[in-house]
Each structure stands twice: as C-alpha cells, then as structure tokens.
Structure 1
C-alpha cells in the first residue's frame, strides 16, 4: 500500500462535509460562499452535477486556500484523473474501487470511498483511504455505525447518505469522525440562490456546526474517563 494521505484538515476541524449536488451548477458558487460564511469549509462537488469540474475550479479559485473543495461520485480512474486535474483536493466515491483510491493516494490526495459492510470498510482502508464513507448511513442508522466501529475502531468513518442537520450529532455520538450532508442542508438554495435563501443556508450551517461542537464537547469527558 502507498503512503496514506492525511484526512482533509478542514474536515478534521469542523467534522462536516457539505455535499453540493444540483441539476444546474450555476448556483453552487453562491451556495459555497453561504456555507463558508456559516463556518463549513469542506465542500464536495458531485460529478453528477452538470459542469461539475468547472464549478469546482471556480469555487476553489473564489474561496482560496482556507476552504477545501473536492469531487464526489468519482466512479472511475478517468474521472479521478480529471477531478485532480481540475484542482480537487479530495475525492469521494459511493463505492470501494481500489484503482480509484490508488489514483488519489499516489499523488497524496485523500480519498473517501463509500462502504457498508466490515469487509468493504477494511478493504477501503487497506487500499489507502484516508477515511471511509459509511454509505448510505441512514439505512442502518447510528446503530449500524456503532457496530462497525466496535471491531474496527482504528478506521475513521464519515457518515453520509440521508444524514440530516438534526441527526448529525447522533452519528457523531456513535463514533463517526465526521458527517457529510447534502440536500437536507441546502434545501434548494442551489436552485433558488436568492439573498434570503442563502442567508437561511448560512444560518443552518452555523446551527449544524454548533450541534457538532456540542457533541464533541460532551464526548470529551467520556474519553478522558475511559483513558
């Protein structure tokens, strides 16, 4: 296995990845600005969005080095290469493809492949994933995540898929290192990027980060007691 890249610093710091997926990517730069105004600085632009790579490059250029912008729904090595060429700072996939993972890790780029079973999680980790995306997280809920973490505590897991703003802390309480949230956070702001809609998005981002911070603060005394 090649050297494992570190988890994206912005994701480690905030424990939230915002997923930008839309039928029309033209509104996503405004959405990205609203999210970062609320404190979310790890953004995934899915390749299912028309013009995704141009949008990714534009967001990265506009927001600068303090914001990490990656590509999601990366299914092939060709897509991985194109995303990296466009400036993606991390890759996210819904599945475990060791070739895609290797394409990222050889260049020092973190990759977060999607997995569901213990075998898939372990395979992704062995292939060099920086962390493994539990997907779809809502199908088994926090209980499934907790059961996965029990035999695999050394593998960082990001809960993605059906995770809402109010449910995020339950996945973190169950052992997730971070959560990824898309439509429950955006709520159509990508389709209607008016000042009011974007302002509400910024407020939701702040609310989410406050809940995540509260969950982390509550977990800290438990870890100290266990040590």
Structure 2
C-alpha cells in the first residue's frame, strides 16, 4: 500500500530536514528529533553516506514515524534510497527522480517555485509540492499560488524559521520543511541539546491552529 504522504505531512506540520557533514552526527540528530516527537524527517543526500544514515534512523524510528531522503536528483539516487529504506523522497527541483520514484511506489514532495514548475511536478506524479525557496516570495506568494492551484498540497521550505511558520500555515501550506533553523549544527557534530529544545518549540507551534 502506497504511503499517503500528503495526509502524513498535514498531520505532522513539520518536516525536519537533516543536512550535515558527519554521518554519525546525522544519525544522532535524526534519533534525537524522533525522541522529541518529530514524526516526519528527511536526510539530504548531500550528507556523507546518507543512505547509511537513512537506514540507521529508520531502524530506530518508532511506529508511525516517516524517514525520507532529500535532494534526490537522479534515477540512481532513487534506487539507492529505496535500498536504504527511505519511505518518501524530496527533490529541490523538477527532476528525473520524480517519475522514477512514482513508478517504484515511493511518494514524492517535489521542489518547485513557479506555477509552471508546480503544475509540472504534480503532472509527473508528485504527491506534494515543496515550495522552494519559500522565503523568496514569502507567505503572500504561497497564497497567490494556491488561488489557481487549490488542490496542490504545498510544503513551504527554505528560510522558514519558527517566527515565520504560522504565516505559512495560515497561507495554506500543509506543512513547513525546516533545516538549519531547527537542526542547527547538530548534524555536523554540534549541539544536540539545543536541537532538542528547538524541536519542542517547533512542535508546540505546530500544535496551535493556524490563524484564519
């Protein structure tokens, strides 16, 4: 049965993005996020030995948690992350990995910025559109995109900090993807305690209903 990524993201509201320079630290980061209650996370393939990190985090994940792969660009990348146990993929753009992942039963959050890119990504089979970099247009741009595309599930990613998160949710994002503002330097061997504190803050914000 194919995972309903849109429903899972809408329930979680926070997609944690792990992108670091150390494999073991990336694994520790993922486990810490899961322990704090984050339920959907991705490991970017720019992280050293990312497939190993994905497999290790997946093996430690509780029931109901989702571990995906980010920055998935090629057909080969799709094969690698499937072998590692990734449950979904995220792309930074409209790329060849989208139809390949869909063909192999893996849901996709596809990166797009323009209306044409968003429409194309969905036509290629993406379950959700990762509006990236969201900060380029802000919540008002997301709201404008949703007017012609009310049925596209948008995830705002790129420059979305804790202060900006409510505005994106109010503008119609089903979730926000957060890397640096949440993870900090933890995935490169840095502060895990700070990571845990920030994770709790993001989850508390996600639990509040968005302003109408």
Match of 1:32 among 27, 30, 39: 30
CA distance in 1 between partners of 2:68 and 2:116 (Å):
26
Instruction: Note the 1:58-207 alignment, pairs <5 A.
Output: 58-97=56-95, 99-193=96-190, 197-207=191-201
CA distance in 2 between partners of 1:42 and 1:8 (Å):
11
Q: Give 4+ residue runs of structure 1 displaced > 3 Å after superposition.
A: none
Q: Which runs of 5+ in 2 are unaligned?
A: none
Deviation at 1:5, TM superposition (A): 5.9
CA distance in 2 between partners of 1:24 and 1:163 (Å):
24
Say whether the 8 Å CA contact 2:6–2:128 is kept in structure 1.
no
Q: Which runs of 5+ in 1 are unaligned?
A: 220-227
Q: Point out the structure with max Rg over C-alpha.
A: 1
Moved more, 26-35 or 69-78: 26-35
Partner of 1:215: 209
CA distance in 1 between partners of 2:83 and 2:20 (Å):
22
CA distance in 1 between partners of 2:8 and 2:152 (Å):
19
RMSD: 1.8
Say whether the 8 Å CA contact 1:76–1:100 is kept in structure 2.
yes
Instruction: Note the 1:37-56 alignment, pairs <5 A.
Output: 37-56=35-54
Query: For 1:93-122, what per-residue CA distance to the aligned partner results, in whole angstroms no more than 9, with x for missing partners?
Result: 00012x321211123211011001111101
Deviation at 1:8, TM superposition (A): 5.6
Query: For 1:36-74, what per-residue CA distance to the aligned partner results, in whole angstroms no more than 9, with x for missing partners?
Result: 222111110000011100111011012243321111101
The TM-score with structure 1 as length reference comes to 0.87
How many residues are aligned here?
A: 212
